Structure 1
């Protein structure tokens, strides 16, 4: 299997001189197509910077990022914008839906922005998968938090992206709703070979992934395959001690 995303020796330094801080210190990692990876680490470990660099939202200080066969570091801003629109789906903790648009309009928005007419069959499939058939005419304020996150997932899936980046997608949800949302993401990987990279602090959320990679002080310090919540929690406990040492 080839990688949907690959980071090679990625460093990201903020500030200059004595005030410089290395958020990432030469990280290399690959994410195979059709896999679900969770990214974890203590607060300040570089998780968000890792996600931003992998998704082309932030440029590395050095190193390279390849996404869907395209090297990102040499692209201009317009090229990056097009690539993010066509090849990447995003799911955030805050849902990021447009309040004036209906559920159907929010889901179709990435296609509209790309100048593409939404394919009715593809829309129907995505809507069915997230269980929103009876909510298409509603606006976000009329939905629960879980329903809003389902809209965000449908919006991420509808373009059939090379990869979906999820940043704490269950952070604003109760336990039962979080489990439903994670099951949806898991099904997207299993049934449709979607590639998902998810930053999370929750060992239960991480257990839905195929593997977990751990960051500490901007460095990749290990990974866990077929994770259980207990194994992830145990590794995180030791990571905290490692990072504080």
Structure 2
């Protein structure tokens, strides 16, 4: 049986999970999706989260982002403890300190690329600085697509709009849930290049769930989950082959 990896957090992190448990259901139907997870994500770092199906990857991401409440333990984003917050206060933290990129893009079809990028600022009651939104679109290579609606953009272009939207509020952390899952190889490489650039050029913190070793190879650190616990960690991965080997090890070990 694989033993959980124990993490000690000694310095301030962009995101911190302390002894987090997340259970679903009740009584004999209770399922423990996360089991006493303590982990931190440092500022200006890129972490990939991997694991077999049902290992708790998406639950970890949703709890860390404040999209889901933990059953026990606590989550901090940029030093703010999410645990005691009301829904209204939690929504405000997410708007101000969290960016999220989904596999399905989640753009508003009736809005242009520029309006989609500006939307988080408007929801937060903030005005975009002059040229801010167009600058973000240029940053992701879509300066000439500002007035296009999602239906007029390719899948890769839509995901780049989603990245610009996630970054426009200058969040403490950007979470990405399988951001390349719906893209071809060329579009995937461009999306991963943008996420890597956000870390290297703008000191952004990125946490990405992925099943793809090629995607995970862009990260500084890879966390491996099994049965709701972090069971392995790879720092400064040497490439997709090394990551795939670790994943194969997890999937073939007896985890009972």
Provide the TM-score with structure 1 as the length reference. Answer: 0.98
Distance (whole Å) between structure 2 residues aligned to residue 76 and residue 211 of structure 1: 33
Distance (whole Å) between structure 2 residues aligned to residue 73 and residue 171 of structure 1: 31
1:208 maps to 218
Structural mapping, 1:111-150, within 5 Å = 111-150=121-160
1:83 maps to 93
Q: What 5-or-longer segments of structure 1 have no aligned partner?
A: none
* Equivalent residues of 1:87, 1:162 under 8 A apart: yes
Cα deviation, residue 18, structure 1: 1.1
* Equivalent residues of 2:12, 2:79 under 8 A apart: no
Cα deviation, residue 244, structure 1: 4.6
Classify 1:205/1:243 alpha carbon distance in 2 versus 1 (closer, same or farther; 3 Å).
Answer: farther
Residues 167-194 of structure 1 show CA distances to partners (whole Å, capped at 9, x for unaligned) of 0000000011101100000000000000
Q: Which of 33, 36, 42 is the aligned partner of 1:32?
A: 42
* Equivalent residues of 1:216, 1:243 under 8 A apart: no
Residues 130-155 of structure 1 show CA distances to partners (whole Å, capped at 9, x for unaligned) of 01111001000000000000000000
Q: Which of 190, 193, 203 is the aligned partner of 1:193?
A: 203
Instruction: Kindly report the root-mean-square deviation, in angstroms, between the aligned alpha carbons of the 2 structures.
Output: 1.0
Cα deviation, residue 242, structure 1: 2.6
1:231 maps to 242
Cα deviation, residue 243, structure 1: 5.3
Distance (whole Å) between structure 2 residues aligned to residue 59 and residue 107 of structure 1: 27
SS of the aligned residue for 1:150 comes to helix
Residues 35-87 of structure 1 show CA distances to partners (whole Å, capped at 9, x for unaligned) of 00000000000001101110111111101101111000110100000000010
1:165 paired with 2:175, answer yes
Distance (whole Å) between structure 1 residues aligned to residue 76 and residue 111 of structure 2: 34
* Equivalent residues of 1:217, 1:243 under 8 A apart: no
Residues 93-142 of structure 1 show CA distances to partners (whole Å, capped at 9, x for unaligned) of 00000000001000000001111111124323312110111100100000
Distance (whole Å) between structure 2 residues aligned to residue 184 and residue 174 of structure 1: 16
Distance (whole Å) between structure 1 residues aligned to residue 186 and residue 118 of structure 2: 27
Distance (whole Å) between structure 1 residues aligned to residue 20 and residue 226 of structure 2: 15
Structural mapping, 1:91-110, within 5 Å = 91-110=101-120
* Equivalent residues of 1:53, 1:60 under 8 A apart: yes
Cα deviation, residue 17, structure 1: 1.3
Would you tell me which structure has more helix in proportion to its own residues? 1
* Equivalent residues of 1:11, 1:26 under 8 A apart: yes
Runs of 4+ in structure 1 deviating by more than 4 angstroms, as ranges, are none
Distance (whole Å) between structure 2 residues aligned to residue 62 and residue 243 of structure 1: 27
SS of the aligned residue for 2:126 comes to coil
1:11 paired with 2:21, answer yes
Q: Provide the aligned length of Structure 1 versus Structure 2.
A: 245
